[in-house]
Amino acid sequence: MRAAGFEIDRSEGVVVPMPFVFGRSALSRIALALNRILVRVRPTLFGFQILIVAKPRPTLASLLDAARASATEKMPKVLELPQEKMRRSA
């Protein structure tokens, strides 16, 4: 994920859906509880799936776009600045 340009916020293991395998029985509840404990200990080994919450890192194009937008926003202020100084000195 990091190599693809994402920053990982958190990852967690997802438990096996035991009630779908064994039906809603005492065995499935015991197996589900055991699986929850094992997933907390080693999520990559005992997790049915791994859930990853990630956000994209800024790309060069997005950084350049943000810089251009900021410069465009500040440009009128910079151009007005010398004229105001000239008016004050006159």
- In this prediction, residue 83 carries a pLDDT of 59
- Statement to judge: residues 66 and 25 lie in one domain: no
Distances (CA, A) of 41 to 9, 30, 33, 47: 19, 17, 13, 10
Shared domain for 74 and 31, answered yes or no, is no
Q: Between these two residues, 89 and 40, which has the higher pLDDT value?
A: 40
- Tell me which of 1-5, 35-39, 63-67 is least confident: 1-5
Q: Which domain holds residue 63?
A: 58-90
Check residue 17 and give its pLDDT.
87
DSSP letter at 4? Answer: T
As a whole-number percent, the residues of the chain with pLDDT over 70 amount to 84
User: pTM of the predicted model, to two decimals?
Assistant: 0.53
Q: Do 65 and 51 fall within a single domain?
A: no
18: left (phi over 0), alpha (psi -120 to 50) or beta: alpha
